[in-house]
């Protein structure tokens, strides 16, 4: 009798089938990495928006800014000057229209982020998280994701900043269901 060396064809086929089954069960986890990365990026932006809001608020308090709406005429609307520009204040917090300067982010087609400014006159809704018809809101969403205004669940991948009121601090939320 000859001494057997190596694997038989049947053993090789069995190993290939087992590796195929393992690959099919593990593949969905690897595909989900981009979704997890996008969610983590949006949650990181949430932290940045909250931090920028608090820094602007602290600077406004330290500078003795007036606690008025950003539509006030008497006294004049207060501002805070930062390294990245002038931030208009709304009840001692960043107004939605100048949040981008507080964050120092680039938005647009060649950037990582898109920004929508909603002032109650915009067409479309964001659902329950965008409340108030006259409250200004800023929505920031990643490049490559559908606009939250035009999209359904597929577009729920954004951070929304709703301006402060005379009775409350700004509301800042992240929605990552559609990332």
Q: Which residues of 79-110 are buried (b: 16+ CB within 10 A; e: fewer)?
A: bbebeeeebbbbbbbbbbbbbbbbbebebeee
Residue 4 lies in a domain: no
Residue 114 lies in a domain: yes
Given pLDDT bands bounded at 50, 70 and 90, which one contains residue 105? confident
- The pLDDT of 114-137, averaged and rounded, is 58
- Its domain, for residue 66, covers 9-175
Given pLDDT bands bounded at 50, 70 and 90, which one contains residue 14? very high
pTM of the model: 0.73
- Percent residues over pLDDT 70 in the chain: 83
Residue 42 lies in a domain: yes
Give 32 or 173, the one with higher predicted confidence. Answer: 173
């Amino acid at each position: 009798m000859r001494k057997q060396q190596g694997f038989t064809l049947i053993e090789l086929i069995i190993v290939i089938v087992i590796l195929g089954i393992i690959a099919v069960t593990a593949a969905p986890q690897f595909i989900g990495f981009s979704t997890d990365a996008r969610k983590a990026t949006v949650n990181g932006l949430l932290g940045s928006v909250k931090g920028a809001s608090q820094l602007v608020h602290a600077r406004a308090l330290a500078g003795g800014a007036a606690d008025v709406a950003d539509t006030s005429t008497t006294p004049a609307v207060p501002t805070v000057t930062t390294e990245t520009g002038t931030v208009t204040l709304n009840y001692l917090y960043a107004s939605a229209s100048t949040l981008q300067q507080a964050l120092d982010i680039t938005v647009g087609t060649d950037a990582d982020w898109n920004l929508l400014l909603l002032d109650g006159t915009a067409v479309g809704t964001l659902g329950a998280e965008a409340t108030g018809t006259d409250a200004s809101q800023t929505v920031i969403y990643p490049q490559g994701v559908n606009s939250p205004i035009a999209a359904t669940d597929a577009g729920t991948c954004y951070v929304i900043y709703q301006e402060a009121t005379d009775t409350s601090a700004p509301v800042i939320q992240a929605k990552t269901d559609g990332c």
